Amino acid sequence: MKARVFSILFRMLASTWRYRVEGAVPQGPCVLGFWHSSMTAVWKYFAHTRSVGVTSKSKDGDLLARLLRDWNYEVIRGSSSSGGTETLESMIDCARTRRVLLTPDGPRGPIHVAKPGAVVAAHRAGVPLVFCSVRISGAYIFQKSWDQFSLPLPFSRITLHFHTPMVFPPESSREDLDHALQEVSMLR
């Protein structure tokens, strides 16, 4: 019941947000990453696009999973700290045919430090990794949360900046992937 009420109220709030896009929105199969602190803006933008979302198995993840299902996402539950191998395999399978969205620094941080999942999934699936930076004109910042979570206020203007896709040839070395991981962690 709690998840249902949360989803209804949150979708009402999100329906007021206005978007501006910079860069090319990924249309085909890919892994799309964005920081945990600004995730709600990206989740809403891709609502009803038959994308796949990755959420943790936590109580907060339960609320997010309900919201994403109501936005017609297929949901994969798990993270690097819970069910990592199965989650990664599911991400790889889905990314071969669809857009897979995830927060590479979630669910526990540290903030803006990417874990390997997004890079590894894109490499093994043979699809690009696209990172999306978010700017919000008005947001409530949860100062005590590990990620300084930003909740866009009603009628916020949100800018999504899609960075140049990262492509990983099959012969990419571990060093190549580690370098890409460092590059992702520098994007804001």
Q: Are the beta carbons of 39 and 68 closer than 8 angstroms?
A: no
For residue 179, the surrounding DSSP H or E stretch is helix 174-186
The whole-number pLDDT of residue 109 equals: 83
The whole-number pLDDT of residue 150 equals: 96
The whole-number pLDDT of residue 180 equals: 93
Quote helix, strand, coil % in the chain, to nearest 5.
35, 25, 40
How many CB atoms within 10 Å of residue 172? 14
155 vs 174: CA distance, rounded Å: 44
The whole-number pLDDT of residue 158 equals: 98
Q: Are the beta carbons of 100 and 94 closer than 8 angstroms?
A: yes
Angle at which helices 59-70 and 2-14 cross, to 10°: 60
Pick from 118, 140, 183: which is nearest to 38 by CA? 140
Q: Are the beta carbons of 156 and 18 closer than 8 angstroms?
A: yes
- Residues 106, 111, 114, 115: is their CA dihedral positive or negative? negative
Q: What is the pTM of this model?
A: 0.93
* pLDDT digits (tens), the chain, 188 positions: 788 999 999 999 999 999 999 999 999 999 999 999 999 999 999 999 999 999 998 888 899 999 999 999 999 998 766 667 899 999 999 999 999 999 999 778 899 999 999 999 999 999 999 999 999 999 999 999 999 999 999 999 999 999 999 999 999 999 999 999 999 999 98
Pick from 90, 84, 162: which is nearest to 116 by CA? 84
> Scanning the structure block, which residue is given the tokens 């866009």?
152
The whole-number pLDDT of residue 122 equals: 97
SS3 assignment, position 107 = coil
The whole-number pLDDT of residue 37 equals: 95
Domain boundaries, the chain: 2-186
